Structure 1
């Protein structure tokens, strides 16, 4: 889904939806695309090769994303304009992963700035927390999600992190156990904004989840490390009581709504 602003675009924004979503769902769920267009950005809601089932950090997904960026830049003559990327959940994971790969070489268009909404970044952590939820959780929706994630990670990584530790480090946008921080180091000069809503009581009461089972731990860890190595444009934004699913009409801290549209787009345009 491509939305063009009035007049010549100031830049390009690509948005990656979460697992199980579609561009149409995102457009109805958040004002982010509309705000970006109002601010003069040509905005594309991206669907990758596996559609709503895309895992985003795998090589095929990353290649598809790179191809889409190049195609849009060429079609709309935006190769010399600023490139912004944003994503939700696994889509956010894909955004961070792409930025790292782009900064590692010269073959991919480099983003000017990126943001991600509550993305899992350390998949070894996600696997272990999912295993804990599957064994001990008592909320059906959370237990089923944990089992699904484990099955998908077994497929994508070739097994659990205990069996494939190198693969988890290789594909995770951030790995807390990687003492070389090889992926994080690639983002030393990249403006990055990570957003999450660490509503501990909601997670405990509604999903039987503890802190280790929340993506916030990955977001804070990455941003803190980037600040330590000198990235002055690495920002973590915690929100309070902003997480709601608009179309479902229910409370959920893991939602597009925690990224306030005007503030998010304004931050992009400062870079």
Structure 2
């Protein structure tokens, strides 16, 4: 009788334990995804406090950004909303384009109840140029209330005058077909829209993020109290072997110059972050001009500070 009683008690305990394990299972929540012609929004289903807005490099759409910069998993783990902009092919922004883009961002964030969150804006290559320009514009206009808490760029062509001169040199050297084709396109575009800098560099100063030759930084004046991060991979050997460029002909050099200039002007939160052998495209190709130079975990930590 006692043995039977003990057996019944043991079975009851085992059944109870199994029952408790079953009730402790938590279903994985899925993010809400909203896709339009202008953007792809991956919205956190929990009560999130943060929005990350990303601009791709020249010609990149949301699909390309996701392929080259696998940020969505860690963003989900940290309950961060991610807005991938389908807005590229811009090396500078006209005043009308800034206003139109700012209105699009504000209406999008407002519609999806994200405008009161901590907002961070960043981008790779030309997307970084757009990120800095639009952030500076938003902070300078009272009609917009989506001021970014932080802005970051990855190997962006911030100096248009320097890009013009480097393009001239690339064509003269005739070292790489890719470099010559890109440089020819740049020169034609710049001379058609901005003019020849020999006549005046004022247009280049007006539209560039930064002009090193004249140390012109007025296009960033409204970001003095905003957290800024500049990511670069100064691989001089790669650029010399693959494009026949010196370090002072790369985006990294001018970003370094800008960082130093802003710090001299008492910009409080400027970080210049260099990497080594981190630049790889999604297909495995080695290239220091890549999204992958951004450490995703460290970026998220910076945002969550």
Q: Same fold (TM over 0.5)?
A: yes
CA distance in 2, matches of 1:32, 1:226: 29
Cα separation, partners in 2 of 1:236 and 1:167, compared to 1, 3 Å: same
User: Runs of 4+ in structure 1 displaced over 6 angstroms?
Assistant: none
Unaligned stretches of 5+ residues in structure 2: 1-39
Partner Cα separation in structure 2 for residue 94 and residue 173 of structure 1: 9
| Change in CA separation of 1:228 and 1:31 when aligned onto 2, cut-off 3 Å | same
- Secondary structure (helix, strand or coil) at the match of 2:60 reads coil
Alignment check: 8 A CA contact 2:52 2:80 kept = yes
1:94 correspondence with 2:130: yes
- Counterpart-to-counterpart distance in 2, 1:31 and 1:16: 14
Larger RCO (CA within 8 A; separation ≥ 6) = 1
Deviation at 1:60, TM superposition (A): 4.5
Q: Which residue of 1 is the match for residue 180 of structure 2?
A: 143
User: Cα distance, 1:68 vs. partner?
Assistant: 2.3
1:106, CA displacement in angstroms?
1.8
The match for 1:10 is: 49
2:239 is equivalent to residue 203 of structure 1: yes
TM-score by length of 2: 0.81
Point out where structure 1 has 5 or more consecutive residues left out of the alignment.
none
User: Is structure 2 residue 72 aligned with structure 1 residue 36?
Assistant: no
Task: Specify whether residues 3 and 73 from structure 1 end up closer, same or farther in structure 2 by C-alpha distance, changes over 3 A only.
Answer: same
CA RMSD after TM alignment? 1.8
| 2-structure distance, mates of 1:179, 1:141 | 30
Measure the CA separation in 2 of the matches of 1:132 and 1:242.
Answer: 27
- 1:245 aligned to which of 264, 281, 292: 281
C-alpha distance 155-59 of structure 1, shift in aligned 2 (>3 A): farther
Structure-to-structure mapping, 1:1-271, within 5 angstroms: 1-48=40-87, 52-108=88-144, 109-157=146-194, 159-179=195-215, 181-247=217-283, 249-270=284-305
Q: State whether residues 154 and 230 of structure 2, in contact with CA within 8 Å, keep that contact through their aligned partners in structure 1.
A: yes
Partner SS for 1:244: coil
CA–CA separation in structure 2 for the residues paired with 1:154 and 1:2? 37
- Output the CA distance in 2 between the equivalents of 1:201 and 1:84: 33
Distance change (3 Å), C-alpha of 1:168 and 1:268:
same
Q: State the alpha-carbon separation in 2 of the partners of residues 160 and 23 from structure 1.
A: 34
Q: CA separation in 1, counterparts of 2:43 and 2:119?
A: 15
**Contact preservation (8 Å) 1:87, 1:93:** yes
Cα distance in 2 for residues equivalent to 1:164 and 1:78: 43
Query: Normalized against structure 1, the TM-score is what?
Result: 0.91
- For the residues of structure 1 that align with 2:197 and 2:138, how far apart are their CA atoms? 26
